[in-house]
Chain A
Amino acid sequence: SQTIHQWPATLVQPVGSPLSLECTVEGTSNPNLYWYRQAAGRGLQLLFYSVGIGQISSEVPQNLSASRPQDRQFILSSKKLLLSDSGFYLCAWSAGDGLLAFFGQGTRLTVV
């Protein structure tokens, strides 16, 4: 069966520090991969999605970037964190038709 792993579960980082959140999927090939952010009191905002290795689409201008170095690995990064980057980050995957998404357990990021 397919599983999605996302880590770390929680992270506290100072302003200006770098960020790297990792997400991996097991049990499937060529998944579509997504990063979402859920800010306090707000819904889920799609940040990036990827339909293949090295193919990244950015949905909103921001301080973050994403990379997909391997088929089932999706990384969310920042060179210098801002306070406004705080939130709950969710990784998700879907099969080729994109019609059913499965979510990781999320990372709670607090920038202080």
Chain B
Amino acid sequence: AQSVTQPDIHITVSEGASLELRCNYSYGATPYLFWYVQSPGQGLQLLLKYFSGDTLVQGIKGFEAEFKRSQSSFNLRKPSVHWSDAAEYFCAVVPSGGTYKYIFGTGTRLKVLA
């Protein structure tokens, strides 16, 4: 079955430490890939997206993500985390072929220690 998996429900890092949030998808063809961030009680904000081309994409707020076709992964990274990065992060895919449907992972809640 088609799915998006974020294996880490919670992650805690110290401010200034590096961060990697994992995302794996299960689709026959390479989908379009996204990372969104949600602050408490708020909607979702797009961090970055991958459609094609360079497999390392840069986003807002210093985030980047790397698409690895062989691993069906699209992991989100940040070299140095700031306290304001504490939020919930969602990986999402739109299956190629024009279905218009965003499929989200279950999210990873990030806590940042001062």
Assign chain B's interface to a size class. 20 to 34
Q: Which of the listed residues B36, B49, B100, B107 has the most CB atoms from chain A within 10 Å of its own CB?
A: B100
* Chain A, residue nearest B108 (CB): A43
* Chain A, residue nearest B99 (CB): A98
Residues 62-96 of B at the A interface (beta carbon under 8 Å)? 90, 92, 94
Residues 29-79 of A at the B interface (beta carbon under 8 Å)? 32, 34, 36, 42-46, 49, 51, 59
Is A32 in contact with B42, judged by CB distance below 8 angstroms?
no
Known: A44-B90, A49-B100, A98-B100. A103 touches B105 (CB 8 A): no
A44 → chain B closest CB, angstroms: 4
Is B99 in contact with A103, judged by CB distance below 8 angstroms?
no
Summarize A's interface: helix, strand, loop or mixed: strand
Is B43 in contact with A46, judged by CB distance below 8 angstroms?
no
For A104, what are the chain B residues with a Cβ–Cβ distance below 8 Å?
43
For A13, what are the chain B residues with a Cβ–Cβ distance below 8 Å?
none
Is B43 in contact with A106, judged by CB distance below 8 angstroms?
yes
Is A94 in contact with B43, judged by CB distance below 8 angstroms?
no
Partner of B32, one of A36, A99, A105: A99
Residues 1-47 of A at the B interface (beta carbon under 8 Å)? 6, 32, 34, 36, 42-46
For A94, what are the chain B residues with a Cβ–Cβ distance below 8 Å?
100, 102
Is A49 in contact with B44, judged by CB distance below 8 angstroms?
no
B-side residues, CB < 8 A to A, are 6, 32, 34, 36, 41-46, 49, 51, 90, 92, 94, 98-107
Those 10 A-B pairs whose CB atoms lie nearest each other, nearest first: A98-B100, A43-B106, A103-B43, A44-B104, A103-B44, A105-B43, A43-B107, A32-B100, A106-B43, A43-B104
